[in-house]
Structure formats: structure tokens, C-alpha cells
């Protein structure tokens, strides 16, 4: 024998009625809330694939988008992530010549990329974030900056890598 009470036949639920319905405190009705601008979703940090020279990601904006490239020392440029093809015929086609690769290496040195630090704070809503990861010899670095806080020294590198991005 169980000792439970069935309340389904007892008093009907008393729901408030009228202008304060749904407001248990009986105060003023709640003001409608306006959606606040939201920051872009947190992404996994840009990774530099093994044997790559540089990786670049531009993300954010309104509407939120993300584009990524990886540049390899032999001139290959892969879009959307690393070139993981094992077979030569399936790899990203060579896009940069030796002179362009040297120019990229010199730009990395000229802007002092391997001693730069990332911007502090979070990405502002509707702003673009730029992530760069690069390796030269035994040196590597990762830098993230946002629209409105891009150091002047980094601008030539952002322009050079941005020019490799496919057009939207």
C-alpha cells in the first residue's frame, strides 16, 4: 500500500488573471528587452600546421564569417585550413613563386613578428579579428589583433596575407 496523495482532483490551480498575469510580484509589467550586440563566438585558436610557413584567419564582422589560409614554404596556399593531402596530385596548387615567399619571410622579419604580442581583451562585436601564426627556423609566434587596435607595424603583413585570401 502506497501512501501517496493524488492532487489532480483537489483545488484547481489558481492562475493570476488581468494585467498582472504572469508577474507573481504584481509589480509593473516587465519592459521588453532589446537584444544586445553579441560578441562573435569563441573559436579555437589558429594552429600552424607542421611544415607550414604561416597561417592567417580573418573572422568576425556582421554577419559573422571566417576565412583561413595556410602558406607553405614551397609556395602552396591552402584555403580553409591545412593541406593534409598525402598524394602530390591532391595537394593545393603552387600559388606563390620563390620571390613572393622571400618577400613574406622578409615582411615577417621587418615587422618584428616573432617578438610581437597579441591584443589584450575580447573581440568587439561586429569587428574583425585577425590571427597570424608563423614559423621561421626555430622561431614561431601567434598574434591576434582586432579592428581598431592593429599596430601600425603589423599592417604590411596583414595586407600581404589578406591579398592571398579568396575574394568573397
Residue 43 domain-assigned?
Answer: no
Tell me the pLDDT tens digit for each residue of 40-90.
456 688 889 989 999 999 988 777 778 889 999 999 998 876 655 555 545
Residue 124 domain-assigned?
Answer: yes
Tell me the pLDDT tens digit for each residue of 3-47.
544 544 445 455 555 555 555 555 555 555 555 555 445 668 888
Residue 58 domain-assigned?
Answer: yes
CA distance 43 to 128: 13
| Domain boundaries, position 60 | 54-162
CATH number at residue 75: 3.30.1560.10
Cell of 94: 603552387
CB 156 within 8 A of CB 110: yes
The length of the chain is 168
Q: Is 115 helix (H, G, I), strand (E, B) or coil?
A: helix
* Kind of pairing between the strands at 128-136 and 77-79: unpaired
Query: How many folded domains does the chain comprise?
Result: 1
Residue 33 domain-assigned?
Answer: no
Q: Is 123 helix (H, G, I), strand (E, B) or coil?
A: coil
Residue 45 domain-assigned?
Answer: no
Residue 44 domain-assigned?
Answer: no
Sheet (strand 77-79) strand order: 77-79, 65-71, 54-60, 128-136, 139-146
CA distance 101 to 72: 9
Residue 30 domain-assigned?
Answer: no
Residue 116 domain-assigned?
Answer: yes
Q: pTM of the entire structure?
A: 0.68
Tell me the pLDDT tens digit for each residue of 35-47.
555 544 566 888 8
Q: How many C-beta atoms surround the C-beta of residue 147 within 10 A?
A: 14
Amino acid at each position: 500500500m502506497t501512501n501517496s496523495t493524488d492532487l489532480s482532483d483537489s483545488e484547481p490551480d489558481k492562475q493570476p488573471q488581468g494585467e498582472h498575469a504572469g508577474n507573481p510580484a504584481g509589480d509593473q509589467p516587465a519592459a521588453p528587452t532589446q537584444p544586445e550586440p553579441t560578441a562573435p563566438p569563441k573559436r579555437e585558436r589558429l594552429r600552424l600546421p607542421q611544415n607550414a610557413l604561416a597561417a592567417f584567419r580573418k573572422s568576425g564582422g556582421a554577419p559573422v564569417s571566417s576565412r583561413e589560409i595556410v602558406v607553405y614554404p614551397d609556395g602552396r596556399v591552402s584555403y580553409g585550413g591545412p593541406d593534409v593531402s598525402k598524394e602530390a596530385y591532391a595537394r593545393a596548387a603552387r600559388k606563390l613563386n620563390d620571390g613572393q615567399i622571400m618577400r613574406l619571410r622578409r615582411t615577417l622579419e621587418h615587422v618584428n613578428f616573432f617578438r610581437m604580442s597579441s591584443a589584450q581583451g575580447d573581440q568587439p562585436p561586429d569587428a574583425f579579428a585577425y590571427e597570424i601564426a608563423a614559423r621561421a627556423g626555430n622561431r614561431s609566434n601567434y598574434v591576434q589583433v582586432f579592428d581598431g587596435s592593429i599596430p601600425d607595424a603589423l599592417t604590411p603583413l596583414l595586407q600581404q596575407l589578406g591579398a592571398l585570401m579568396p575574394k568573397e
